[in-house]
Chain A
Amino acid sequence: MSKTIKIDGIEVPFETGQTIMDAALAADIYIPHLCHKPGLSPHGSCKLCTVDVNGRAVSACTMPAEAGQEIDNNTPELNEVRKSITQMLFVEGNHLCPSCEKSGDCTLQAVAYHLGMLDGHYPQFYPRREVDASHPTLVLDRDRCIMCELCVRASRECDGKDVFAISGRGTSRQLIVNSETGKLADSDIEPDDMAAHICPVGAILIKDHGYEVPIGRRTFDLHSVAETDLEEVILKKTVHHDQDDESVEKEGGVYGV
């Protein structure tokens, strides 16, 4: 008999060494995530994949699956938490979708659609971050970087290089380039490197290939990031979550129209 975990009541088989995320992906169960990519070492930084395992909050992408785990994943409370985390990612950077070439192909945006995010909720940070357009075929726009470190890992683990790193701490963290000048042009990145293509947002883009697919006909214009989609988006719904495990729904208030 194979070993199983339970995700939202569904028995999911796993093999020793798999994480909860591995087992879920193999079973076609969607757990929202941004910093995870099968084949790269798990990271656990974005926290979108936060799940409750026997009542304890863990990251699905780093937590080894173990028999007997009862996992809450696709619950209104958890999706509310994930929406808040997504909103945090939006407000700490400069995510101006209408002016971004990645719009429609952006995983951050797609996860936000999936979670029914309508606004940033928190005050915008509007940080000033550097754009590096030095490279002939690539552009690095740090405004959109979400610190997922997929490019950092892809460069090390797939490309056998060490082009990117994260520097600084707290909200001053930023993506840096491993070259004498700190510029992408002086690094050994090549356009065919995995690191040049793995960015889930519009922080690393390939030049000269903008808008080849029109807005409205792109990946996430046509498909949801998840198969198990959330049905409709209530235009405003503030749920108090995680507070002493009480979920109190706050009325939107239609003022009797």
Chain B
Amino acid sequence: MSKVRVATTSLAGCFGCHMSFLDMDERIVGLLEHVEFSRSPINDIKHCEPCDIGLVEGALCNADNVHVLKEFRENCKILIAVGACAINGGVPAMRNHFSLQECLEEAFLDEIGVDNPHIPDDVEIPLLLAKVHPLHEVVKVDYYLPGCPPPADAFVKILTDLLEGKEPSLPKEMLHYD
């Protein structure tokens, strides 16, 4: 039987969910018997190929995040929003308190210690969205794995359930938003 292909990425996130994923420690060896990775920070593949499962950490804060998310949605049969940022914007969404102009001026013009005050305008830099958004506002999300980060056990549980063809479910003790 061919292996289940999994892709992972972090958008506006801190890679904490990925760290937690890796916290499954030696269980990852068992997992690799059934799973192979497409695009992921683990292997540095740059684009998502057709996959069975996509795990997306982080919120949408710029144009590049949107492109990556859409690529994942197009290529992954199942898309899972992982962690607080992906689910409701999380810590990145705290900038929604301010206008984009206020944010950029504070960071690049007014902040103490800024040399050569200038809002970056290089075409290589993705433009910021007016507000940070969770994933489900832009693409269809199939499953949600909450937590900041979700515990490693929760990753194991959701992947195991999916591999076994079951509707994934979390035991109560694994359900946390913090």
Contacts and interface: CB of A to CB of B under 8 A. Distances in A.
Nearest to A230: B172
A232 interface: yes
A96 B89 contact: yes
A96 B170 contact: no
A96 B78 contact: no
A4 to B, nearest CB: 32
B70 interface: no
A231 interface: yes
B46 interface: no
Contacts of A232: 169-172
Contacts of A104: 178
Interface string A213-232: 00100000100100001111
A143 B94 CA distance: 10
Contacts of B175: 113, 116, 118, 233
A1 interface: no
A257 B163 contact: yes
Contacts of B89: 96, 124, 126
A104 B176 CA distance: 9
Contacts of B88: 90-91, 95-96, 119-120, 124
Interface in B4-34: 4
Contacts of B171: 232-233
Interface residues of B, number: 43
B168 A235 contact: yes
Interface in A163-183: none
A253 B172 contact: no
A119 B81 CA distance: 9
A235 B150 CA distance: 13
Contact of A235 (B84, B96, B136, B170): B170
A160 interface: no
B167 interface: yes
B169 A233 contact: yes
B87 interface: yes
B77 A98 contact: no
A98 B4 CA distance: 32
B165 interface: yes
A124 B148 contact: no
Given A124-B133, A257-B4, A96 B91 contact: yes
Interface string B95-126: 01100000000000000000000000000000
Given A124-B88, A257-B77, A229 B93 contact: no
B134 A126 contact: no
A121 B137 CA distance: 9
A124 B172 contact: no
B55 interface: no
A99 B169 CA distance: 26
Contacts of A98: 84, 90-91, 148, 177-178
Contacts of A90: 88
A236 to B, nearest CB: 5
Contact of A109 (B137, B163, B177): B177
Interface in B130-145: 131, 133-134, 136-137, 141-145
Interface of B: 4, 52-53, 77-78, 81, 84, 87-91, 93-94, 96-97, 131, 133-134, 136-137, 141-146, 148, 158, 161-163, 165, 167-172, 175-178
